[in-house]
Amino acid sequence: MLSTSSRLLRLLSLLQSRRHWSGSALAAEMGVHARTLRRDIDRLRELGYPIQASSGVAGGYAFRAGRALPPLMLDDEEALAAALALRTAVTGTISGIEQTAITALVKLEQVMPPRLRRRLDALRTAIVPTHPGGPVVDAGLLGVLAGACRDQLQLRFDYADRNGVPSHRLVEPQGVVQAERRWYLVAWDTAREDWRTFRIDRITGAPQQGVHFRPRPSPGDGDLGSYVKQILALPSHAVEARVVLHAPLAAMRQRVPATLGVLEGRDADSCVLRCAEYAPGLLEIWLIMLEVEFEVLDPPELQQHLQQTSARLLRGAAYAAGPPARPVTRRKP
């Protein structure tokens, strides 16, 4: 049986792990009677934790925002993840939080036990920082979008496409994803009645939150990260490259990144790679690195480019072998 203080700490950790708990589920998770649970909830409220209770069929307990930020309960893995994320934020692609991230990191590392600090130091030395080079996104904007995704609130915002053409959007946000050194919002566009992916740095002005919406099944089988990578890999126009790879689909999925293109099954010994044709040279490099037989289905421009590349490689190989030997002629006596 846990002591009262240990039980309160565990209860606090559980309440902070999800938005809502039913009373029966929370009591079962704690292994206590419903009366004991109610007393512990009252103790946490006396300590200043904003816990709301509701009755009825869908009743239960929920940890809500209060007037001040109460202490948070983090386990070892959560603390390590938070520390690494804060260090990344200092030099990452989000502006406006560098100094705040530094002060939060100092507070977190100060209370870390030695065993966690050693693990954090080991992880820090293993990670090589790089300059992202992509557009910087405002932290406040990112927070508004992420909050609307969490609370299932419609968003209105102005958006400029890649050509700078402005438009006004009303969307049901699903999630925020970072891919290819950029931040994207995946949302259901109510006017177009389809899923859309918006580059967050192209959102102009301040988004306005609207009414609640009923959540839809997520695109891409629920994996928004893979969905965005597939969207980025496919061209925004009708022309795309299709290449038959003479290797099993399962083997190619382990070697071909999702950012390059989309793999589709063909038969037991081959698959089809569909990818954008807007980056000449990149696809050829990957096809050479895969070291499998392949056939280019389309477009014809890619076939021509491969022929030119093949001829250039053959000339380079012949040059590396040296000039051809001259025939030896013998003089007549």
Positive or negative CA dihedral for 210, 213, 215, 219? negative
pLDDT tens-digit readout, 273-297: 988 654 556 778 888 888 999 999 8
pLDDT number for residue 161 = 83
Beta-ladder partners of 157:
169
- Within a 10 A sphere around the Cβ of 126, how many other Cβ atoms? 7
pLDDT number for residue 316 = 83
pLDDT tens-digit readout, 213-261: 988 888 877 788 888 887 776 655 446 788 999 999 999 988 888 777 8
- pTM above threshold 0.85: no
For 260, the token pair is: 């390059």
pLDDT number for residue 271 = 95
**How large is the average pLDDT for residues 146-150?**
84
pLDDT number for residue 238 = 47
- Kindly tell me if the per-residue pLDDT of 1 is higher than 50: no
CA-wise closest residue to 291 among 246, 240, 243, 258: 246
Buried b (16+ CB within 10 A) or exposed e, 289-324: ebeeebebeeeeebeebbeebeeeeeeeeeeeeeee
Place of tokens 């030099």: 91
pLDDT number for residue 96 = 63
Place of tokens 């009591």: 27
Distance CA 170, CA 172 (A): 7
**How large is the average pLDDT for residues 61-74?**
72
CA-wise closest residue to 85 among 116, 124, 115: 124
